[in-house]
Amino acid sequence: MKQDPNKPVDTIVALSTPYGCSGIGVIRMSGPEAIPILLKIFRSMTETEFPNRTAIYGTVFNPREGNVLDDGLALVMRGPHSYTGEDVVELSLHGSPAVLEMVTHVIVEHGARHAARGEFTRRAFLFGRMNLVQAEAVIDLIDAKTASAAIEARSRMDKRLSAEILEISDALKDVMAKIEAYIDFDEEEESSAPQTEHTIREVFRKIETVQGRARAGRIRREGIVTVITGKPNVGKSTLFNLLLNKERTIVTPYPGTTRDPVDDCLVLGGTAFVLWDTAGIRQHPDPVEEEGILRTKDIIGEADLVIVVFDGSKPPDGDDTMILEACKKNQTLAVVNKMDLVKGMGHSFSTELTGGPNLVAVSAKTHEGIEALKSALSDFGKKIVGQISPTTQGAALNARCLELMGAVSMPIKRLLTRFTEEGTILPEIISYELRTALGSLEEITGERADDGVLDRIFERFCVGK
Ligand SMILES: Nc1nc2c(ncn2[C@@H]2O[C@H](COP(=O)(O)OP(=O)(O)OP(=O)(O)O)[C@@H](O)[C@H]2O)c(=O)[nH]1
Ligand SMILES: [Mg+2]
């Protein structure tokens, strides 16, 4: 775990609850001066000292002027067994922005400084209280918009995922130590190279297991990626706005209105969807449209579900067939729109054309069929979440870690291919590839992460966490 030689030595303070009027507001301090400052500004009628992890009632006052600022509870958590690993003090006071500002000001006057975003958690990381996987889980938990996202983030804060990564790292280090010892001493002793293939294959299997849980984790964390596609002008943006119940994207009578893909969060029947409105796809686009179509196809490639929209007032054509072909690897839901313009089912939008029974007829103009569409979407959502098997229920890597895990697996995969094709590999090559893999693994946990990476991660936090 990362132990920064330049560990912070100053004391930080921040309001840990949202700014605004509330029942209670919590001010948090961390650092060597946290307890000395508390002793100067807080007085209890009953206690003369602060037992560890025990809430003490008392008054906060301004020592310079002697006036009482508020009364409330003080909680002392001495390091190293605290959130940050340093001495931490929390003051629970009345949630008045004026009071909390005055008390914070007095604390700063006595030697603390205002904390930056995520600085408490950054300290927890620097003092080895958590690794980077856990620190990122903290911010994801705070940001979670749905219960499943919160549960998923919370599971990453537990040690299990980190333990799995540690297991992979230990196994790699073990093989590397053997190989490097052999390289170093081989000149003196005539021994055969250590057998490493079996362990490397085992490590690769573990990496695949962790990677395999990523899609399930992303769905729980962010929602089901659902892309609305179809020809230009079929009413994709109108449906998108209708489902979201807001005017999120531009609708005009002119084909080719939507160019860049736009996304928003939709919750239906307790399931979260990341809903995308995209540029219409057609066979002979102009150059600007072409760029939008490429982006649409990229998103379709990543989608968990695709809603293919047809214009029910016109007969299906080659563009419709081409779009269905582009989505044939995806789970799809067909929506025949503009039903207000036709009588009956309109043209031949049969299940044969749409390749399955998932077909809903709607009018985005009159809202006819929209409830049926929502209910079909909600059913799809439940089905997709239900497909997340119990083996993929464990904590999953987030996007940053998943990308790095790809970089861990690549050199290992190269080694396995060579083992299969060549039988034996030079120990120097094994050592080089394993070192490369280990480097990426250490970036996941933060053992090897530069300040730029840390800044980017902790900037996502709020002040006070
Ligand atoms: N009559 C009728 N018109 C509709 C319906 N849905 C959308 N429209 C109209 O169709 C036109 C195109 O709608 P959009 O939602 O912009 O279509 P789009 O598929 O997003 O189009 P592009 O972004 O150009 O690909 C607009 O004039 C809408 O008002 C519908 O159910 N019935
Ligand atoms: Mg549009």
pLDDT tens string 395-416:
778 888 889 999 999 999 999 9
- Higher pLDDT pick, 332 / 357: 332
Atom of ligand 1 at shortest distance to CA of 309? 19
Alpha carbon of 279 to ligand 1 centroid (Å):
12
**Number of other CB atoms surrounding residue 293 within 10 Å:** 21
Mapped onto helix, strand or coil, the DSSP state of residue 459 is coil
- Higher pLDDT pick, 357 / 360: 360
Nearest CA to ligand 1 atom 7: 235
**Number of other CB atoms surrounding residue 9 within 10 Å:** 9
Alpha carbon of 256 to ligand 1 centroid (Å):
11
Alpha carbon of 241 to ligand 1 centroid (Å):
11
Alpha carbon of 248 to ligand 2 centroid (Å):
11
| pLDDT grade for 19, boundaries at 50, 70 and 90 | confident
- What's the confidence (pLDDT) of residue 4? 52
Atom of ligand 1 at shortest distance to CA of 239? 15
Mapped onto helix, strand or coil, the DSSP state of residue 94 is strand
- What's the confidence (pLDDT) of residue 3? 45
Q: Is the pLDDT of residue 332 over 50?
A: yes
In the sheet with 332-337, reading across from the earlier edge strand, the strands are: 262-268, 271-277, 224-230, 305-311, 332-337, 359-361
Atom of ligand 1 at shortest distance to CA of 256? 24
**Per the CATH hierarchy, to which homologous superfamily does domain 143-213+397-445 belong?**
tRNA modification GTPase MnmE domain 2 (1.20.120.430)
Mapped onto helix, strand or coil, the DSSP state of residue 266 is strand
Q: Which residues contact 142 (CB under 8 A, 6 or more apart)?
A: 461, 462, 465
| pLDDT grade for 2, boundaries at 50, 70 and 90 | very low
| Sequence-ordered strand ranges (E) for 125-247 | 224-230
Alpha carbon of 250 to ligand 2 centroid (Å):
7
Nearest CA to ligand 1 atom 32: 338
Closest ligand (CA of 235): 1
* Amino acid present at 334: A
Torsion of CA 444, 446, 449, 453, to 10 degrees: 80
Common-topology check for domains 12-130 and 143-213+397-445:
no
Q: Is the pLDDT of residue 238 over 50?
A: yes
Domain boundaries, the chain: 12-130, 143-213+397-445, 219-386
| pLDDT grade for 423, boundaries at 50, 70 and 90 | confident
Q: Which CATH number fits domain 12-130: 3.40.50.1000, 3.40.120.10, 3.30.1360.120, 3.40.1520.20?
A: 3.30.1360.120
Q: 2-16, 46-60, 102-116, 317-331 — which one is most confidently predicted on average?
A: 102-116
How do beta strands 224-230 and 271-277 pair? parallel
End-to-end CA distance of the chain: give it in Å, rounded: 20
Give the CA count within 13 Å in the CB-facing half-sphere of 248: 22
Nearest CA among 22, 158, 13, 33 for reference residue 96? 22
Mapped onto helix, strand or coil, the DSSP state of residue 55 is strand
Question: Rounded CA gap, 34 and 32, in Å?
Answer: 6
Alpha carbon of 311 to ligand 1 centroid (Å):
9
CB 84 within 8 A of CB 12: no
Q: Is the pLDDT of residue 390 over 70?
A: no
Residue 463 CA from chain centroid, whole number: 19
Q: List residues bridging with 230 in a β-sheet.
A: 309
Weakest-pLDDT range from 264-278, 319-333, 386-400: 386-400
- Higher pLDDT pick, 391 / 290: 290
Residue ranges in 94-225 assigned as alpha helix (H): 97-109, 119-126, 132-143, 147-157, 159-185, 197-212, 214-222
- Higher pLDDT pick, 8 / 106: 106
Q: Is the pLDDT of residue 236 over 70?
A: yes
The CATH T-level fold of domain 219-386 is Rossmann fold (3.40.50)
**Number of other CB atoms surrounding residue 463 within 10 Å:** 16
Mapped onto helix, strand or coil, the DSSP state of residue 152 is helix
Q: Is the pLDDT of residue 1 over 50?
A: no
Cα radius of gyration (the chain): 29
Ligand 1-lining residues (CB < 6 angstroms): 230, 232-238, 251-253, 255-258, 280, 337-338, 340-341, 363-365
User: What does the pLDDT look like over 364-386, one tens digit per residue?
Assistant: 999 999 999 999 999 998 888 87
Q: 1-10, 239-248, 296-305, 416-425 — which one is most confidently predicted on average?
A: 239-248
Atom of ligand 1 at shortest distance to CA of 338? 31
The pick from 228, 231, 237 for probing ligand 1's pocket by mutation, whose C-beta has the most ligand atoms within 8 angstroms, reads 237
Alpha carbon of 339 to ligand 1 centroid (Å):
12
Provide the mean pLDDT of the chain: 88
- What's the confidence (pLDDT) of residue 112? 96
Listed residues: CB within 5 A of ion ligand 2: 236-237, 257-258
Alpha carbon of 289 to ligand 2 centroid (Å):
12
Q: 56-60, 399-403, 456-460 — which one is most confidently predicted on average?
A: 56-60
Closest ligand (CA of 313): 1
User: What does the pLDDT look like over 189-205, one tens digit per residue?
Assistant: 566 777 889 999 999 99
- What's the confidence (pLDDT) of residue 419? 92
Atom of ligand 1 at shortest distance to CA of 279? 25
- What's the confidence (pLDDT) of residue 374? 96
